[in-house]
Amino acid sequence: MIRSLVLKRKQLDEMIEHVDRCAPIEACGLLAGRDSRVDCVITVRNREQSPVRFVMDPIEQLNALEWIDSSGLELLGIFHSHPAGPETASPTDIQQAAYPVIHVILAKGKDGWRARGFWIEHEISEEVPLYVE
Ligand SMILES: [Zn+2]
Protein backbone atom coordinates (compact mmCIF):
# COMPACT_ATOMS: atom_id res chain seq x y z
CA MET A 1 0.00 0.00 0.00
CA ILE A 2 1.35 3.42 -0.98
CA ARG A 3 0.83 6.12 1.63
CA SER A 4 2.65 9.04 0.06
CA LEU A 5 4.40 10.06 -3.14
CA VAL A 6 7.69 11.84 -3.62
CA LEU A 7 7.85 13.94 -6.76
CA LYS A 8 10.52 16.12 -8.26
CA ARG A 9 9.57 19.72 -8.96
CA LYS A 10 10.17 19.00 -12.67
CA GLN A 11 7.61 16.16 -12.61
CA LEU A 12 4.99 18.32 -10.94
CA ASP A 13 5.67 20.98 -13.59
CA GLU A 14 5.26 18.34 -16.34
CA MET A 15 1.83 17.39 -14.99
CA ILE A 16 0.77 21.02 -14.63
CA GLU A 17 1.96 21.85 -18.15
CA HIS A 18 -0.07 18.95 -19.56
CA VAL A 19 -3.30 19.66 -17.67
CA ASP A 20 -3.02 23.38 -18.39
CA ARG A 21 -2.60 22.70 -22.12
CA CYS A 22 -5.68 20.42 -22.12
CA ALA A 23 -7.91 22.70 -20.01
CA PRO A 24 -10.87 23.18 -19.95
CA ILE A 25 -10.92 19.48 -20.94
CA GLU A 26 -9.92 17.10 -18.11
CA ALA A 27 -6.47 15.64 -18.65
CA CYS A 28 -4.99 12.43 -17.23
CA GLY A 29 -1.91 10.28 -16.98
CA LEU A 30 0.13 7.79 -15.01
CA LEU A 31 2.98 8.10 -12.50
CA ALA A 32 5.58 5.35 -12.49
CA GLY A 33 8.45 4.76 -10.13
CA ARG A 34 9.68 2.72 -7.22
CA ASP A 35 9.19 2.85 -3.44
CA SER A 36 6.78 5.82 -3.51
CA ARG A 37 9.30 7.82 -5.54
CA VAL A 38 8.09 8.94 -8.96
CA ASP A 39 10.53 8.44 -11.84
CA CYS A 40 8.30 9.11 -14.77
CA VAL A 41 5.18 11.08 -15.72
CA ILE A 42 3.27 9.52 -18.63
CA THR A 43 0.43 11.51 -20.15
CA VAL A 44 -2.54 9.58 -21.55
CA ARG A 45 -5.26 10.98 -23.78
CA ASN A 46 -8.69 11.49 -22.22
CA ARG A 47 -10.93 9.53 -24.57
CA GLU A 48 -14.00 11.44 -23.37
CA GLN A 49 -12.59 14.91 -24.14
CA SER A 50 -14.93 16.19 -21.44
CA PRO A 51 -14.51 19.09 -18.98
CA VAL A 52 -16.05 17.02 -16.16
CA ARG A 53 -14.83 13.46 -16.58
CA PHE A 54 -12.06 11.33 -17.99
CA VAL A 55 -11.61 7.86 -19.37
CA MET A 56 -8.07 6.94 -20.36
CA ASP A 57 -7.60 5.97 -23.99
CA PRO A 58 -7.38 2.17 -23.56
CA ILE A 59 -4.59 1.61 -26.11
CA GLU A 60 -2.42 4.39 -24.70
CA GLN A 61 -3.08 3.16 -21.17
CA LEU A 62 -2.16 -0.41 -22.08
CA ASN A 63 1.02 0.72 -23.86
CA ALA A 64 1.99 2.83 -20.85
CA LEU A 65 1.38 -0.02 -18.40
CA GLU A 66 3.46 -2.37 -20.57
CA TRP A 67 6.26 0.18 -20.76
CA ILE A 68 6.19 0.62 -16.97
CA ASP A 69 6.39 -3.13 -16.48
CA SER A 70 9.17 -3.66 -19.03
CA SER A 71 11.14 -0.80 -17.45
CA GLY A 72 11.08 -2.51 -14.07
CA LEU A 73 8.97 0.27 -12.57
CA GLU A 74 5.66 0.15 -10.72
CA LEU A 75 2.47 2.08 -11.26
CA LEU A 76 2.43 4.43 -8.27
CA GLY A 77 -0.22 6.93 -9.23
CA ILE A 78 -2.91 8.08 -11.61
CA PHE A 79 -3.36 11.79 -12.09
CA HIS A 80 -6.14 13.82 -13.62
CA SER A 81 -7.30 17.39 -13.60
CA HIS A 82 -10.35 19.21 -12.36
CA PRO A 83 -10.07 22.38 -14.47
CA ALA A 84 -13.08 23.87 -12.67
CA GLY A 85 -12.45 22.25 -9.27
CA PRO A 86 -12.91 20.78 -6.72
CA GLU A 87 -9.50 19.86 -5.25
CA THR A 88 -10.79 16.56 -3.91
CA ALA A 89 -11.90 13.30 -5.52
CA SER A 90 -15.41 13.44 -6.97
CA PRO A 91 -18.02 10.75 -6.23
CA THR A 92 -17.33 9.37 -9.74
CA ASP A 93 -13.57 9.30 -9.08
CA ILE A 94 -14.23 7.36 -5.88
CA GLN A 95 -16.59 4.89 -7.57
CA GLN A 96 -14.29 4.31 -10.53
CA ALA A 97 -10.99 4.00 -8.65
CA ALA A 98 -9.78 0.61 -9.86
CA TYR A 99 -6.08 0.56 -9.05
CA PRO A 100 -4.36 0.41 -5.65
CA VAL A 101 -2.39 3.58 -6.35
CA ILE A 102 -2.43 7.21 -5.31
CA HIS A 103 -4.90 9.35 -7.17
CA VAL A 104 -3.42 12.77 -7.79
CA ILE A 105 -5.91 15.51 -8.56
CA LEU A 106 -4.78 18.78 -10.09
CA ALA A 107 -7.37 21.48 -9.58
CA LYS A 108 -7.26 24.99 -10.90
CA GLY A 109 -7.94 27.68 -8.37
CA LYS A 110 -7.44 31.41 -8.48
CA ASP A 111 -3.74 31.00 -7.64
CA GLY A 112 -3.13 28.43 -10.35
CA TRP A 113 -2.92 24.63 -10.29
CA ARG A 114 -2.70 22.72 -7.07
CA ALA A 115 -2.00 18.99 -6.68
CA ARG A 116 -3.35 16.79 -3.89
CA GLY A 117 -3.07 13.05 -3.39
CA PHE A 118 -5.76 10.58 -2.32
CA TRP A 119 -5.83 6.92 -1.40
CA ILE A 120 -9.22 5.49 -2.42
CA GLU A 121 -10.36 2.16 -1.08
CA HIS A 122 -13.80 0.69 -0.34
CA GLU A 123 -15.34 3.89 -1.72
CA ILE A 124 -13.56 6.03 0.86
CA SER A 125 -11.14 8.73 -0.19
CA GLU A 126 -8.39 9.66 2.25
CA GLU A 127 -5.85 12.42 1.61
CA VAL A 128 -2.19 11.36 1.56
CA PRO A 129 0.86 13.60 1.36
CA LEU A 130 2.64 14.54 -1.86
CA TYR A 131 6.24 15.54 -1.19
CA VAL A 132 7.85 17.77 -3.79
CA GLU A 133 11.61 17.97 -3.71
ZN1 LIG B 1 -12.04 13.66 -11.04
Which H or E run contains 67? helix 58-70
Q: Strand 74-82 and strand 102-109: pairing?
A: parallel
Cis peptide before 83 (omega within 30 of 0): no
- Asked if CATH classification 3.40.140.10 holds for the domain at 1-83, the reply, yes or no, is yes
What is the 12 CA–ligand 1 centroid distance (Å)? 18
How many residues comprise the chain? 133
Ligand 1 mean position to 121 CA, how many Å?
Answer: 15
Query: 85: Cβ–Cβ under 8 A, 6 or more apart, which residues?
Result: 107, 108, 109
d(CA 80, ligand 1 centre) in Å: 6
Q: Please give the model's pTM, rounded to 2 decimal places.
A: 0.96
CA of residue 131 relative to chain centroid, distance: 14
For 34, list phi and psi in degrees, rounded to 5.
-145, 145
Tell me: the pLDDT tens digits for 41-89? 999 999 999 999 999 999 999 999 999 999 999 999 999 999 998 999 9
Q: How far is the CA of 29 from the centre of ligand 1 (A)?
A: 12
Helix (H) or strand (E) run with residue 90 in it: none
Proportion of the chain above pLDDT 90, given as a percent: 94
Predicted confidence band of residue 95 (pLDDT cuts 50, 70, 90): very high
